[in-house]
Structure 1
Amino acid sequence: MKKPEPPRTATALEYDGFSTPRVTAQGENTVADQILKLADEHDIPIRRDPKLAALLSKVDIGEEIPPLLYVAVAEALAFAYTLQDELRWVEE
């Protein structure tokens, strides 16, 4: 028997450069698709990392990420900032 696929998950983070990043939205399947669509429409970089998404899905909306996830989220944010800089350079 085929094992069911895990739900698609998406989590949106907010980071102001000073405080700890916060979860601002999260969802599975259809809601996850909407989060990704909105991010794409607003040119917000998307990093696909199912393991990190699964861990972030346990953090309540509005809550800061826990210290255990600082390094993983820092890597995701570095990816996002690098990608935004590269896109800006290409557009100029």
Structure 2
Amino acid sequence: MRKGVVVTVEIPGGTQEQYEETTRLIQAAEWFPPAGFIAHASGPDGTGGWRITDFFESEEDFLAFVEKARPIFEQTGTPQIIPRVQQAVNVVTR
């Protein structure tokens, strides 16, 4: 079994365009993919905002990613958010 953390980020008022620009810049960074990255999914949250779910090997890996990506978040106007981090008992990928 592969363990890790599930990180859920709610971005009230976040748009698909803002998400796509942020993702493009992150994926173009020389440090991408970040250490401990397992998987990523996103989409509209059903209330006019955006939801992101990430899987990382540890909370420390996720926090290190956030520090590297912070300038990109600021550049694209992504609001400051508080992610919800939960332990994953098992992460299954292809």
TM-score by length of 1: 0.28
User: Counting helix residues as a fraction of each chain, which structure ranks higher?
Assistant: 1
TM-score by length of 2: 0.28
Relative contact order (C-alpha < 8 Å, sep 6+): which is higher?
Answer: 2
User: Counting strand residues as a fraction of each chain, which structure ranks higher?
Assistant: 2
